[in-house]
Amino acid sequence: MRKKIVAGNWKMNMTLEQSLALIKELKEELQDYQYNNTRVILAPSFVSLSAAVNETSKVNIEIAAQNMSQEERGAFTGEVSAEMLAAVGVDIVIIGHSERRTYFQEIDAGLKAKTKAALANNFDVIFCFGEQLEDRENKKHFEVVEQQLKNALFELEAEDFGNIILAYEPVWAIGTGKTASADEAQEMHAFIRSILAKQYNETLANSVSILYGGSVKPNNAAEIFSKSDVDGGLIGGASLKAKDFSEIVKAI
């Protein structure tokens, strides 16, 4: 059975003190929650990772990094390696978020290298991808998504997908207040599963968790998560409020 996953990407928000306060609030909100087949993941900033790992050590909340370098070590000022993340207890990383692609010009070749580096260090990878508004309006959204996956992931071995979580981000629905309808999310997630089946096999396609990452809120989470090919969400703004995020978790 595919894992249900709700991941909160805190982006460049929250100081160390604020991060710990939010985690404590979230622990209280979820203290009676039965996780069963659900993973709850939080991605604070680099400076809060170690403390966040310690704060969640006795609960079913996992900590992820928002990014990492493909390099092992060396003269790469400002970068953080998988080895450094592992040393503070982190073994999950978000790769390819739309903001990394847009603001930092990350491209498929680099994202492929980062993914391979993460997998080589036994990390789980939340791999993000998705179309811009122009792509959807020009009816190229399926083509764009397939190309992003093909360029970055389709050199991987089938067994590598045991550590891959896919996160579909319709970029036009991030931070804009717009949201793809539940049916639109399902349509794309089903398409993604179909191209995984075509490239690999049906068993693999049906085993990979695919998250929706476009303005999920407490008031739309249940409808989106009810779709058969939507396995959870990558949550941005709503993950910065313990009550909202916990309601989204409970909606799964």
Q: How far apart are CA 193 and CA 159, in angstroms?
A: 16
CA distance 241 to 243: 6
Cβ atoms of 22 and 242 within 8 Å: the answer is yes
CA distance 59 to 82: 24
Rounded to whole angstroms, the Cα distance separating 251 from 116 reads 33
Tokens of 177: 């207040």
Note if 141 is an active site residue. Answer: no
97 is catalytic: yes
Using alpha carbons, select from 239, 243, 248 the residue that is nearest to residue 63: 239
The residue annotated as part of the active site, out of 97, 146, 184, 189, is: 97
From 131, 146, 169, 184, active-site residue: 169
Work out the burial of residue 177: count CB atoms within 10 Å of its CB; fewer than 13 is exposed, 13-18 middle, 19 or more buried: exposed
Residues recognised as catalytic: 97, 169
